[in-house]
Structure 1
Amino acid sequence: MNTPSEALDLEDMYRRAVGLHQAGDCAGAASLYEHLLGMVPEAGPVYYNLGLARYELELYREAAEAFHRAVELNREDVDSWYNLGLALKQCHEFSQAEEAYLQALALHPEDAEVLYNLACCYKDSDQVSRAMEVYEHLIELKPDHVSGLNNLAYLKHLRGHFEEARKLYGRVLELRPGHPSARHMFGALSGDNPRSAPREYVRDLFDQYSDNFEQHLVLDLGYDLPLKMRAVFDRFDGRRSHYELALDLGCGTGLAGMAFQGVCSRLDGIDLSEKMIEMARGKGIYQHLHVGDIVEYLRSVDVCYDLFLAADVLIYMGALEEFFQVLADRARPGGLFLFSTEYLEKGGWQLQPSGRYAYHPEYIREVSEQTGWTVACREEVPTRKERDQWIRGNVFGLIREG
């Protein structure tokens, strides 16, 4: 048992730890919390605060350990259960995170944020039906929950319930008129044809799914478009044996870069999503990586490339005249632009209910000629699976004139 003097010392240390925490010094606070727990190992609130500090330091597994100890000491603490769920989800321990959220809901059945995060956990672990059920319950309790409405709309769209999704996106826009993904998807499901997808929509889409992007695309959907593009490249008679400088447009996590290793002396990449760029950097195949808009970037540099790659990039572009012209301005004479599109039966280009743009080959030919490119090859390829059906597409190879 601590003496009165020791108790005062502990209280002072706790106040200093909380002060550091509130000032943003999470590392200093965590160190003091740990020191305190060495002297008072049964102090549940200190474990809780330690968990918060570690979470803010992105030490998610260590945070989960602290929150787990907090709930062992007080199983009625809703906040500790909730934050345990958050930390476990960050560790991709979805089933354990779900259990923590359910424990929190047993104590507070109508807590909107716990319900929302439980639904997100189900969504991110591909338990779509359960996720929709919880989102629907959340919206019954809190009809103006924008993130819940938007995520439910996304899942309805994923399941092919387009009209229900459209109405939900419309509700999001009533509450938040500038919401990028709701605006884009409401337009897509309403037959609109804007000149491009909102930059914020594309960035947020890929930031959100960067952690399991390759798992979902490659393993779950059988995605191999970069390899199909490489096969078209290898069959193309007009290709060079080697390229000096290549730019992977919308490089994502680096799947196209991996497929085209060895064809160039230097490979650079650009993407709107900072999280995607971080994953691409981890592959160690790019000499330079840039976060930003492709057109703005190319207008800001003096570098000229002799190979451009764009796998599943034009599907977020819409009208292509400006894009093709900027690429032409930064292409060396005889340079190659290899890219994929989704196929449009008639018309030039159209935003599809999927939220992606599709193109008729004749439109590609016309824009190419207008901007100094020549269509040197085109092959039909299936691009991706959607609701167990392959999406028709094309791979084009354009040569820069001059």
Structure 2
Amino acid sequence: MSQKRTPTELLEGAYKIETPQDSVEYYQDFADHYDAEFAQKLGYVYPRIIADHYRKAATPFDRPVADIGCGTGLVAEAINLPRAEIEGFDISPEMLERARQKGLYGGLHRVDLTQPLIPPQTLFGAVVSAGAFTHGHLGPEPLENLLALAQTDALFCIGVNAQHYRDKGFAAVLARLRKQGRISAPKLKNVPIYSDPDSAHGADTAQVLLYRKR
């Protein structure tokens, strides 16, 4: 039986992850507590904010949606699309199982997002993510890999922890992809991650990256 930890302990443990295998092992435990002990108690509004930005920017052609680092399905809950129009991608089988139990996705895929991705038979009209691009998780390199999932002109709505964005050189990778003509000029919007600014990590913010595949 997994050891119950405080929401802050769960978050700080996640930030210390260093490798994809670390993620697999950590979320074997974290998955049991993610929604109730982490998302609810820390006021984790990030998935809803990503969903809101997707809805504001999306056209009727920006479907189906690929939810990257989908975890237990919080972004899918907030977007509230029909199952046939959203699929989830994550490295943790335990998190994917909890997403499966909610019945939110038409498909769920266990993938290591640090590796090249095989294009699906039907390319996605949008790619969204909340929480995967943060300390101990994904750096900027997978942004290029994700292009393989998307059709031309697909909408990307990618959340990146703001400090992680600065520390890991996301701007340089986006600039290179833009210069290569592979994406449109990104628009960045700074947003809160948690609803309570006085909590342990309440001042943390994220950059929402909005661009299209070219």
TM-score (norm 2): 0.81
In the alignment, does 2:75 pair up with 1:260? Answer: no
Which residue pairs with 1:207 in the alignment? 28
* Structure 1 alignment gaps of length 5 or more: 1-89, 91-119, 129-153, 159-180, 189-196, 351-358
In the alignment, does 2:191 pair up with 1:381? Answer: yes
For residue 294 of structure 1, the aligned residue among 74, 99, 113 is 113
Preserved CA contact (<8 Å) 2:52 2:79: no
SS state at 1:335 partner: strand
Which residue pairs with 2:147 in the alignment? 328
CA pair 268-295 structure 1, distance change in 2 beyond 3 A: farther
> Match for 1:369: what amino acid?
R
Which residue pairs with 1:394 in the alignment? 207
Which residue pairs with 1:218 in the alignment? 39
In the alignment, does 2:152 pair up with 1:343? Answer: no
The two structures, once aligned, show a CA RMSD in angstroms of 3.2
Structure 1 residues 1-400: aligned runs within 5 Å: 90=1, 121=3, 124=4, 126=6, 185=16, 197-236=18-57, 239-262=58-81, 265-294=84-113, 296=115, 298-299=117-118, 301-315=120-134, 316-318=137-139, 320-321=140-141, 323-344=142-163, 348-350=166-168, 362-363=171-172, 365-370=174-179, 372-384=182-194, 387=200, 389-400=202-213
C-alpha distance in 2 between matches for 1:127 and 1:313:
18
TM-score (norm 1): 0.45
Which consecutive aligned stretches of 4+ in structure 1 deviate over 6 angstroms post-superposition? none
Partner deviation per Cα, 1:319-345 (whole Å, 9 max, x = no partner): x23x22222233211101111111139
Larger Rg: 1
C-alpha distance in 1 between matches for 2:64 and 2:184:
20
Aligned length, in residue pairs: 207
Preserved CA contact (<8 Å) 1:304 1:331: yes
SS state at 1:248 partner: strand
Preserved CA contact (<8 Å) 1:243 1:263: no
Which residue pairs with 1:173 in the alignment? none
Q: Percent identity?
A: 18
SS state at 2:102 partner: coil
* Structure 2 alignment gaps of length 5 or more: none
From the two aligned structures, give the one with the greater helix fraction.
1
SS state at 2:187 partner: strand
